[in-house]
Structure 1
Amino acid sequence: MSRHLRIVLVHPPRESDASLRAAALQAGLAEAGYQLVASLPADIHLPERIAQLQPDMIIADAESDARDVLEHIVVATRDERRPIVMFTEDDKTSSMEAALEAGVSAYIVAGLQPERIKPVLNVALARFRKEQKLLHELADTKHKLAERKVIDRAKGVLMARHGISEDQAYQRLRTMAMNKNLKLAEVAQRLLDVEDLLG
């Protein structure tokens, strides 16, 4: 599966595609069987080019100006997250922390040996997938908590208006939801909307 990844290589704008580092990276990717779809400079056109190419992974080749390259990549992947692997000579802790904070899946310092590329990409991909799964689970949990609050508020309205117990209020909401073929939270939200309108 990982060998069919469509990869975009991003390099500093001052560097030509033919730089030694870019050439070594391209050779390592080809040797490992990966498909390099483009080698692009980190400039203002990067977001548009990445949107057109729709790569599965981005590899950043930043010899010393890792932060500049990273800024362009972050902007380019803001709307659609992708695994990002950064090969750099910048070993400053602050640069590494900034890269990881920005969403880089792997930050490799002075590690451009072709035989290391495949394991590094595999680890980066696994880490990215795990992070995405956790983010989805977190979003799902937040959504469920928000729904629970809406349902609890709606139960409170019914209890206050009709002088009924919490269980009875919940049963009324359930019955309304089943009759209207809606989710419990949707019925609860509608009830709250009506309550707000009526004051």
Structure 2
Amino acid sequence: MSPPTALRILIVAPETLTPDPDDAIAGWQAERSRSLRIGLLEAGCNIVAVLPADVFLPERLAQIQPDMIIVDAESEARDTLEHVVMATRDARRPIVLFTDDEDTTHVRDAIAAGVNAYVVAGLAPERVKPVLEVAMARFQHEEGLRRELADARTQLQERKLVDRAKGILMTRQGCSEAEAYARLRKMSMDKGLRLADLAQRLIDANELLA
């Protein structure tokens, strides 16, 4: 799925694009960062903020609510990435890392931590959009898998609660499993409760009386 035309991008990077003219390395890094931002704008993205990777990042992310986070890291890509991953732990968003750090030994860890695309220096502006499209598609796919897994875990937990509640009724009322289930269903409808919620109440009440 292609990103929307006005994809709201938050860039995590040093904010200045005007380094010391005598610092050749900083000048090259600033030019790379400028090229990246041009590519984002040409891709139809809306750069809503450029923030440093500091202790205020989680709060700023919560305020701005970007659609995607671009990490424009220099040689300290790993340190910057750790800040971003921690900042998005409770509100996941697609993360794309652009870096000039040619040490790719930690790429696997970065992907495992939540980075959806990892790009080492040299990306032309016209290739930025395809990278974002792939990153967004991968993020959406992974989030779908996470939801499916969470749903499966919830269903399993609820099934266990219902089984425990059936066991309580079978012991107390001397009924069969099918009869216990039917009684649980009727009570849940009469009280307007989900079957799992009713089962939990029955379990809690039984524990108080034990």
TM-score per shorter chain, which class? Answer: over 0.9
Hey, what does 2:43 align to over in structure 1?
Answer: 32
Hey, what does 2:105 align to over in structure 1?
Answer: 94
Hey, what does 2:25 align to over in structure 1?
Answer: none
- Does 2:4 align with 1:2? yes
TM-score, normalising length: structure 2: 0.88
Q: What is the number of equivalent residue pairs in this alignment?
A: 197
Secondary structure in 2 matching 1:112: coil
Hey, what does 2:54 align to over in structure 1?
Answer: 43
Q: Does the 8 A contact of 1:87 with 1:111 survive in 2? A: no
Hey, what does 1:168 align to over in structure 2?
Answer: 179
Residue pairs, 1:50-199, within 5 angstroms: 50-199=61-210
Letter in 2 for 1:188: A
Point out where structure 2 has 5 or more consecutive residues left out of the alignment: 19-29
Find the aligned partners of 1:155 and 1:164 in 2 and give their Cα distance: 9
Identical columns (%): 59
Cα RMSD (Å) of the superposition?
1.5
Letter in 2 for 1:176: M
Find the aligned partners of 1:126 and 1:115 in 2 and give their Cα distance: 19
Higher mean C-alpha displacement, 47-56 vs 136-145:
47-56
Secondary structure in 2 matching 1:174: helix
Find the aligned partners of 2:9 and 2:138 in 1 and give their Cα distance: 17
What displacement does 1:139 show? Answer: 0.8
| 1:141-160 residue CA offsets vs partner (Å, 9 max, x unmatched) | 11111000000011111111
Q: Does the 8 A contact of 1:17 with 1:39 survive in 2? A: no
Find the aligned partners of 2:98 and 2:162 in 1 and give their Cα distance: 49
Secondary structure in 2 matching 1:47: helix
Deviation beyond 6 Å, 4+ runs, structure 1:
none
| 1:90-123 residue CA offsets vs partner (Å, 9 max, x unmatched) | 3444320121111011111234211110000000
Point out where structure 1 has 5 or more consecutive residues left out of the alignment: none
Q: Does the 8 A contact of 1:66 with 1:95 survive in 2? A: no
Q: Does the 8 A contact of 2:7 with 2:44 survive in 1? A: no
